[in-house]
Structure 1
Amino acid sequence: MTSRPHGPHTPHPRYVGRRALLTRTAAASLLAVPALGALTSCASGGSSGGTKDVGRVEPTADNPLGAHPDGDLEVVIFDGGFGDQYALDAEKLYEQRFGSVTHVKTQEIQSRLQPRMVKGDPPDVVDNSGAEAMDIAALIRNDQVHDLTELLDAPSLDDPDVTVRETLQPGTVEMGQFGTQAVYRLNYAYHVYGQWYSRTALDRLDAEYPRTWDEMIAVCEKAKRAGMAGWTYAGMYPYYFNFTLYPFIAKIGGADVLRAIDNLEPNAWRHEAVRAAFEAYHELTARGYVLEGSSGLSHEESQDEWCAGRALFHPNGSWVENEAARNTPADFDMAVGPPTSLDASDAMPFETIWAAPGEPFFVPADAANVAGGMEFLRIMLGRESARNFTRLVSSLTCVRDSVDGMDLPPGLTSANEVLAAAGENLITVRLPDWYRQLNNEEIGGAIAAMMAGDIDPGEAITRCQRAADAAAADDSLQHFEHI
């Protein structure tokens, strides 16, 4: 990232013009936002009498990680928007050369696996996703996660002259690092975050996708006159708004504004780019462009409202096409656009997006079959498994160029085009996984209160900075910085 010419709290004159135009009115009171609950600290890692280690064999060209040929494997998959068929198919490939696989699917990752992690008897591979995902930072702090560097440096499944690392999309390795060169997790899906919409709905309004905030207001006003809300969102999980709000902040003030926020730097949330972004988003509420009741909706409920044509935009990630498929009209023509820019004075171009790998997998340090767990991930990173994942769940993977030549559905086609248009203008945000509770509850809660009209942008910023300062001063948290 480039160096920041202005401090994280220094006003810049270019924000004043657009910001001065924003008007605010009172809106409905905030509905209670259920807490997601952060994982409590786990016990220290290290074997404590769990399943017997199956060991390794001498590595070969076909088995570079030395996975035991008779080594059984236990794989736990989060049963969410991606389902689990992609994992079942990869497990069949594993069983062709190694032992049998015990497959578990669940949405209760934390409650089912935390006791096993503490006991030292974890599964061999964990898809650590969903609202009950375990706090990976806490697990790393307690030496409960295996370093995947040897997997990344191993020959790839399809070409022995190319390492696994060399097959990955930008940001994949970095998202697995937590302040060190070690890589503790593999984020398999490649998410494109942005303003998801229906091309059909825009066409019916005779409107173009808004590139500036003035254009956004005009489109939302047009939708309102047609009896349609401009936006809806998952108010029960308000961090969904961050999928567009974070890259919006970066567009306005530069990527280093988000870097300062990630690093918990003093006054990072008081940067004028943050204030400009918060005031723009608050304008959506002030003008009545947010679907009534959104603050109490789950992610699925808000997606259903959006697919039913009651709202134009939904802040989301590229998993939404698969997750909302059952209620998506055949003529919906789903698409995603970059977060709308503030104005022409933004520090980064309109095409800038937040795109990063998600759906995190890790191999527990105390797993009975560590080598087998890594070999399973190597299989998933092969072209056959990657293309199968995309075919099944309408999502890109972290495997570079794996969708070349594939016939993709509308939303994924759009996501791939937006990703290509962004080029190097990609934003990576680490706050959600470095400080899960801070991002999801404190920051998310402040944004939820602002979007419900319960507080103004100034108070939301104060709450965000206060929460970030508390996290920075909390010695019980492991703190990270960009390397």
Structure 2
Amino acid sequence: MGSTDVKRRDLIKRAGAAGLVAVPAMSALSACATGGGDGDGKVAKGEKTESNPLGVDKNAPLDFVIFDGGFGTQYGKDAAKVYEKSYGKVKLTATQKIRSVLQPRMVGGNPPDLIDNSGAEQMDAATLIAKDQLAELSPLLDAPSIDDPDTKVRDTLLPGTVEMGQYGDEKVWRLNYAYTVYGQWYSRKLLADNDWEYPKTWDEMLALCAKAKKKGIAGWTYAGQHPYYIPFTLYPFIGKIGGPDVLKSIDNLEPNAWKHDAVKSAFEAYYELAAKGYILKGTPGLDHIQSQTQWTKGKCIFIPNGSWVENEAADTTPADFDMAVGPVTGLDGSDKMPFGTLWAQAGEPFIVPAQARNPAGGMELLRIMLSKKSAQNFSRLVKSLTCVAGATDGMEMSPGLASSSQVLKEAGDNVLNPRIFDWYQTLHKEQIGSVLAELLAGRTKPAEAMDKCQEYADRTAKDDSVKKYRHA
């Protein structure tokens, strides 16, 4: 997700939400899987040494496909240049069409060595894992870090990073590079100019939206064409109201999880935004860029988004906008978690295909990216945190990046980590997303929306073709 992001998310396409490829092509994928290609004469292998702990073949080329979204590609190019000082030439391909570009190569058994698997055409990691299409990344995580040979790579990462690459066991199948802070993004200047306070309870939110409406400013907008952006604030809102176990029950596809009182309260609150006219007119028809542009123009106060938005919206953001992210507004004093609770987690997933010809090279490039130098370069370039602990210490930070860092620090242990969005991509993006789109457009009432979400979740739970995951 990473920068996740976008120029980052095209229109949701049914095939993309459904997984890697259509069923006939998936059969071909399964047939050609070899679990890493050992013995086919194609895998490049070098000698493991202190300076080359992963055993990269120094003469082998490296094929790297990077998602050209909100984080851009320069950080990947810079890391590739470092790689080339010690190893072979890197062929870097930038695209927004990850699935379209890579599906034929995955089916044909000729995938790249490293993939930034992000964007609207992101390949479904759960499906890839089930079809033995990914290399397990423990060799990378257990290798010495670039900065300290006595410290393993895994021990340099922020909490939750390793877990985001796990799917039901201890194996790690992907490395989520960016560390994304989700929440209600806003302009400090807009609030200050109008002497408005950031709302901590829903009554305060409604009161603020009413004041703004009188001035011709909407309370909210969102990416109406990509309604899976709505959960960036809705999921932590549910977790804040009812506690983390409510989100875990949703992730676990438990019966009646979507009927919990916390879900009911959250849905009713969001429906009220629509019912009272506090959502920017025309929002259901806006894509992510259009909604962000309306927001940076001061047409509304809040937008649900992730920390990639500062870089993605840079071209339309006024110099004095003073972009910031706030924890989601709570319901009231009965909330189970404190106001500062966040959804924050490692995003922008990188994967090494099982049939890659130079898998050690793909992992080595990731090891370079996980150095503090590369991590700082990423943060400078794209105004977002990485999964590398302490990488931004002492750095001069942009407003949005500084805000993300601050609210994450203030949240402490109150950080939520829902997994429905990557465990069950079709359910999250296409099905739940479509229900939320109707809810915020005022066309579906909360009770009906809850029923529909539960119906979709139950359908997924009963679908034997979908691999299931559970929180411990």
CA distance, structure 2, for counterparts of residue 318 and residue 64 of structure 1: 33
2:43 touches 2:356 (CA, 8 Å); kept in 1?
Answer: no
1:264 to 245, 249, 253: 253
Structure 1, unmatched stretches of 5+, are 1-31
Letter in 2 for 1:110: R
**Deviation, structure 1 residue 50:** 12
State yes or no: 1:38 paired with 2:18: yes
Distance 1:63 1:253, change over 3 A: same
State yes or no: 1:412 paired with 2:396: no
Letter in 1 for 2:75: Y
**Deviation, structure 1 residue 60:** 1.3
Residues 359-387 of structure 1, C-alpha deviations (whole Å, 9 max, x = no match): 10000000000111100100000111100
1:262 touches 1:481 (CA, 8 Å); kept in 2?
Answer: yes
State yes or no: 1:285 paired with 2:265: no
**Deviation, structure 1 residue 344:** 1.0
CA distance, structure 1, for counterparts of residue 273 and residue 417 of structure 2: 25
CA distance, structure 2, for counterparts of residue 330 and residue 80 of structure 1: 22
1:161 to 145, 150, 161: 150
2:311 touches 2:382 (CA, 8 Å); kept in 1?
Answer: yes
Residue 84 of structure 1: aligned partner: 73
Residue 331 of structure 1: aligned partner: 320
State yes or no: 1:131 paired with 2:111: no
How many equivalent residue pairs? 452
Aligned sequence identity (%)? 59
Distance 1:158 1:33, change over 3 A: closer
CA distance, structure 2, for counterparts of residue 412 and residue 37 of structure 1: 30
Residue 184 of structure 1: aligned partner: 173
Residue 457 of structure 1: aligned partner: 446
State yes or no: 1:468 paired with 2:457: yes
Letter in 2 for 1:169: L
1:33 touches 1:235 (CA, 8 Å); kept in 2?
Answer: no
Residue 231 of structure 2: aligned partner: 242
Residue 345 of structure 2: aligned partner: 356
SS of structure 2 residue aligned to 1:96: helix
Residue 300 of structure 1: aligned partner: 289
SS of structure 2 residue aligned to 1:420: helix
Residue 205 of structure 1: aligned partner: 194
**Deviation, structure 1 residue 298:** 0.2
State yes or no: 1:365 paired with 2:354: yes
Normalising by structure 2, report the TM-score.
0.94
CA distance, structure 2, for counterparts of residue 173 and residue 209 of structure 1: 34
Distance 1:49 1:173, change over 3 A: closer
1:312 to 272, 294, 301: 301
2:427 touches 2:456 (CA, 8 Å); kept in 1?
Answer: yes
Distance 1:64 1:347, change over 3 A: same
CA distance, structure 1, for counterparts of residue 394 and residue 348 of structure 2: 24
CA distance, structure 2, for counterparts of residue 105 and residue 184 of structure 1: 22
1:375 to 341, 364, 376: 364
State yes or no: 1:65 paired with 2:45: no
Residues 297-333 of structure 1, C-alpha deviations (whole Å, 9 max, x = no match): 0000000000011010000000000000000011100
Residues 1-56 of structure 1, C-alpha deviations (whole Å, 9 max, x = no match): xxxxxxxxxxxxxxxxxxxxxxxxxxxxxxx9875642335321227899952432
CA distance, structure 2, for counterparts of residue 253 and residue 52 of structure 1: 55
**Deviation, structure 1 residue 116:** 0.8
2:180 touches 2:384 (CA, 8 Å); kept in 1?
Answer: yes
1:34 touches 1:236 (CA, 8 Å); kept in 2?
Answer: no
Residues 244-287 of structure 1, C-alpha deviations (whole Å, 9 max, x = no match): 00000001000010000001011100000000010011111111
Following superposition of structure 1 onto structure 2, how do residues 195-234 of structure 1 map, counting pairs within 5 Å? Answer: 195-234=184-223
The two structures, once aligned, show a CA RMSD in angstroms of 1.5
Residue 411 of structure 2: aligned partner: 422
**Deviation, structure 1 residue 57:** 2.3
Residues 438-471 of structure 1, C-alpha deviations (whole Å, 9 max, x = no match): 0011101101101001110000001100000000
Letter in 2 for 1:215: E
1:94 touches 1:379 (CA, 8 Å); kept in 2?
Answer: yes
CA distance, structure 2, for counterparts of residue 52 and residue 427 of structure 1: 45
CA distance, structure 2, for counterparts of residue 61 and residue 239 of structure 1: 45
Residue 136 of structure 2: aligned partner: 147
Normalising by structure 1, report the TM-score.
0.92
2:17 touches 2:429 (CA, 8 Å); kept in 1?
Answer: no
2:37 touches 2:43 (CA, 8 Å); kept in 1?
Answer: no
**Deviation, structure 1 residue 117:** 0.8
2:180 touches 2:306 (CA, 8 Å); kept in 1?
Answer: yes
CA distance, structure 1, for counterparts of residue 392 and residue 366 of structure 2: 19
